[in-house]
Structure 1
Amino acid sequence: MNKAFVKESDHDEDDDDLHGAPPIPKGSKNYITPAGYQRIKQELLHLIDEERPEVVKVVHWAASNGDRSENGDYIYGKKRLREIDRRIRFLTKRMDLAEVVDPSVHHGSDQVFFGATVTYAKQDGEEHTITIVGIDEFDPLKGKVSWISPIARTLTKAREGDTVVLHTPTGVEDLDILEVSYPAPGE
């Protein structure tokens, strides 16, 4: 059978599986900070306004060269268009489900909520600072953890000076909350 008539995949990939993005828990909202929402919006606009039109031009040019079966520009371009379209669908879904929460409304509070930057100490005295952000914003290397992560769920609603118990696969650990902060309004 000619390859032109064979589907690359019999099923569409679930858009939530893109780039290892974690799914939004059933019945939960997709909380996100204003900065995180803006980053998603900028990526979406870049894909729609810049990257996709450029790839469409390349595919159009490659298609005009005749035989498409061994035309690398055409084959790669079509594949890239599918990737871009999948990412656009994913970002659009995430933005539709997003509930923007401005953490600056808690500025001055010592209680942990979404958007808080929390410094805590482990039992051995080792200190860590994390910021609780949306599912689409987490970046452990920069100290940003998702609000659905075990550490964030453990810290939520606690206050400066509290000791909370974190249950991990390696056991139970006490964490002393040293500092809670939020960005000032307008930051």
Structure 2
Amino acid sequence: MSDNKQVILTYEGVKKIEEELEYLKTVKRKEVTQKIKVAVSYGDLSENSEYDEAKNEQAFVEGRIATLENMLKNAKVIDDEDIKTDSVSIGCVVKVKDLEFDEELEFTIVGSAEADPMQMKISNEAPIGRGLMGKRVGDKVEIQVPDGVSTYEILEIRRH
């Protein structure tokens, strides 16, 4: 991740990142430090897999902390009042009808840092999110997805 790439977040996303950062700094760092101490007590570090594993975990935790801090430093927070409902934008909830399967779906459009497809939070940079951006209620949108083309009709746009 570039050191100064702007990260678009909702307030919910900022809170989630802050909570993960706090956990990593206060709980996880101490756990990893303790694992390293225990591994060092086993003696010879050159053949100590517990030590190597703990050091790798430490590097991962520190890297994640740096990534999260950078995301917060470069965050552009979308305020609920700034979310437009006349067209699809970041932060809004979009109800669509999948015309192929005749089913209704609801997506929350978020920045890439908050994307969670299992929670129907899709990135504005993902194919469906990008395809819906700027569209209005009543629009029919054909979106290229990995297994073909999906066609959606936009039924509703609202704030979360």
Shorter chain as denominator, the TM-score bin is 0.7 to 0.9
Note if contact 1:135-1:147 (Cα within 8 Å) is conserved in structure 2. yes
**Deviation at residue 154 of structure 1 after TM alignment:** 2.0
CA distance in 1 between counterparts of 2:87 and 2:125 reads: 17
Structure having the higher strand fraction is 2
Describe the shift of the 1:111–1:56 C-alpha distance in structure 2 as closer, same or farther (beyond 3 A).
same
Cα RMSD after superposing both structures: 2.4
- Kept in 1, the 8 Å contact 2:107–2:121? The answer is yes
The equivalent residue for 1:35 is 12
**More deviation in 64-73 or 80-89?**
64-73
Compared with structure 1, are the counterparts of its residues 74 and 110 closer, same or farther at alpha carbon in structure 2 (3 Å cutoff)?
same
Q: What is the deviation of 1:165?
A: 3.3
Alignment match, 1:177: 154
The aligned runs of 1:17-166 (5 Å cut-off) are 29-106=6-83, 109-124=85-100, 125-166=102-143
TM superposition score normalised by structure 1: 0.72
Shift, 1:133, TM fit: 0.9
TM-score between both structures, scaled by the size of structure 2: 0.83
Counterparts of 1:37 and 1:135, CA distance in 2: 13
CA distance in structure 1 between the partners assigned to 2:97 and 2:134 by the alignment: 17
How many matched pairs?
Answer: 158
| Bigger CA radius of gyration | 1
Q: How far apart, in 1, do the equivalents of 2:38 and 2:119 lie?
A: 42
Any unmatched runs of 5+ in structure 1?
1-15, 17-23
CA distance in structure 2 between the partners assigned to 1:59 and 1:46 by the alignment: 19
Which structure dedicates a bigger proportion of its chain to helix? 2
